[in-house]
Amino acid sequence: MYKSRTGQEVELERYMWIAQYNDDSVLMQFNDDDNTFHNFDEIDQSKLKTFRMVNTTDPKVFFDIRFNPETMKLIHFYRNQRLRIGAEDLKIRLYCFGYEKKDSVVLNFILPDGGLVTADDKNFVFNFTVS
């Protein structure tokens, strides 16, 4: 379990982010050295070189954004769907990351099966079907 800046205990996620700065120092969302959890707003985007989403059980699986703070604004959030409430409650958690530019957005969605979808719409609709 990791501790946030407010003292909340936070469980490791399936994917976590690692922010690499221009001086090659890193800020990790989940830091094993001191068991701390870092919120997205702790990233100093003005110094960001690479934003990586890495699979926490298989670190060979990762996705990088080469970041340009002059033209990009970083995006990261979880999109949660609760399907079939009242029946067999199904929870889907998408790991969403990307960036905004002046007139566009690039958003990646990591799916439950590890697949990656890239869209230019924050409100891209998946319409998951449950059988």
Partner 1 sequence: MAATVAIAEFNGAGETKTASITNSNMGSTDAVNLVVATYPIVPGENSYEKWQKIEVTNIGGSTAIQNLKVWRTTALGGSAVHVTNARTSAYGGAETYAQPVATDSTVADQTMPTSEPASANLGIGGALAGALTAAGLSDYLVHQIQTDAGDVAGASCTMNYQYDEIA
List interacting residues with partner 1 (CB under 8 A).
2, 4, 6, 8-11, 13, 29, 37, 39-41, 76-87, 93, 96, 123, 125-127
Q: Which residues pair with 27 in a beta bridge?
A: 19
Please, which residue, 73 or 84, has the CB nearer to partner 1? Answer: 84
Angle at alpha carbon of residue 124, lines to 123 and 127, rounded to 5°: 115
**CB of 11 closer than 8 Å to CB of 24:** no
Please, which residue, 60 or 126, has the CB nearer to partner 1? Answer: 126
In the complex, the smallest distance separating the C-beta of residue 80 from partner 1, rounded to whole angstroms, is: 5
Cα dist. 5→2, 35, 55 in Å? 10, 11, 23
Q: CB neighbours (10 Å) of residue 19?
A: 24
In the complex, the smallest distance separating the C-beta of residue 85 from partner 1, rounded to whole angstroms, is: 5
Please, which residue, 6 or 24, has the CB nearer to partner 1? Answer: 6
Which token pair is 123? 């409100």
Please, which residue, 22 or 77, has the CB nearer to partner 1? Answer: 77
In the complex, the smallest distance separating the C-beta of residue 76 from partner 1, rounded to whole angstroms, is: 8
In the complex, the smallest distance separating the C-beta of residue 22 from partner 1, rounded to whole angstroms, is: 24
How many angstroms separate the CA atoms of 3 and 31, rounded?
10
